[in-house]
Amino acid sequence: MYYETYGEGRPIVFLPGWGGDNGEGRDIHEPVFEDRPGWRRIYVDPPGTGRSPADPSIEDQDGMLAAISVLIDELVGDDRFALAGTSAGGLHARGVVKRDPTRVLGLLLRVPGIVVDRASRTLPTDEHLVRSAEFAAAEADKDRRYYDAVDSIADLDFLGRIQADVGTYRLSEDPAARFEGPTLIVTGRQDTITGYADAWSALDDYPRATYAVLDQQDHGLPVRGHAVYRALVADWLDRVEHPDA
């Protein structure tokens, strides 16, 4: 499985959304580490995305989680690590935490997919999302660089087979688990894909969580307001670095 790594120190593993590769997470988060040494950032291409080939033995989300877990074990060994998951990557991150919460230093969930069945999600409308010319241009650029480019090389048949059925797209074991490490959950007020309300329902699992709902942000968060998002991530990293402060 392909990954990119930057820096030295505590490991932090970034898991992208479904069908995504490492590029978007890298470009969003690397600026946070420009003046913050001591972190080894690992950005992963899950099977069937980016430079990671599909694995025909993986037939469901359990198999995807198992492959990601094996990679993490190979990369970090016995070290404790922080974990960041976007959208479906949030599902994978929660699955990793459930397997052994004591190994995880901190958890970041960005626009997380909490409810797998789309028909059962609590979703807002995007009628109040201001689609200025600047926003439209930034969104189009993001689509071109990260989503269109990724789709052109991803194994869409492999990914589609897993995603097509709720039974194979969900984890067979509920990933809900109490995690007492520093946590950050960031959602978009106008996110019509995973919403924000369902993430609130998971808050009791995370007694040390900051929960943010950002206005003028959809599922592509952040498209605008990068400084606010990065400030939240920086605060989370402060709490991970100094959990008893």
Mean pLDDT of the chain: 96
Nearest 5°: CA angle at 71, between 69 and 72? Answer: 65
Residue for token pair 């479906």: 88
Nearest to 20 by CA among 117, 143, 151: 151
Q: Are 179 and 106 in contact (CB under 8 A)?
A: no
Which residues are CB-contacts of 127 (< 8 A; sequence separation ≥ 6)?
Answer: none
Structure confidence by residue, pLDDT tens digits, 209-223: 999 999 999 999 999
User: In whole angstroms, what is the distance from residue 71 CA to residue 46 CA?
Assistant: 10
Asked if pLDDT for residue 233 goes beyond 90, the answer is yes
Q: Which residues pair with 127 in a beta bridge?
A: none
Q: Could you give the CA distance from residue 182 to residue 4 in angstroms, rounded to a whole number?
A: 25
Token pair belonging to 81: 């690590």
Domains of the chain: 3-241 (3.40.50.1820)
Mean pLDDT of 10-34: 96
**Mean pLDDT over residues 107-113, rounded?**
98
Residue 245 has pLDDT above 90, yes or no: no
Mean pLDDT of 186-203: 97
Provide the residue type at 33 as one letter: F
- Kindly report, residue by residue over 113-153, the tens digit of the pLDDT: 999 999 999 999 999 999 999 999 999 999 898 888 888 89
Torsion of CA 212, 214, 219, 224, to 10 degrees: -130
Q: What is the DSSP letter of 148?
A: I
Identify the CA nearest to 14 among candidates 36, 45, 38, 52.
45
The kind and range of the H/E element at 186 are strand 183-188
Give the pLDDT of residue 62.
Answer: 98
Whether residue 101 contacts residue 92, with contact meaning beta carbons closer than 8 Å, is answered with no
In this model, does residue 105 exceed pLDDT 90? yes
Helix (H) or strand (E) run with residue 89 in it? helix 88-99
Q: Is the pTM of this model over 0.75?
A: yes
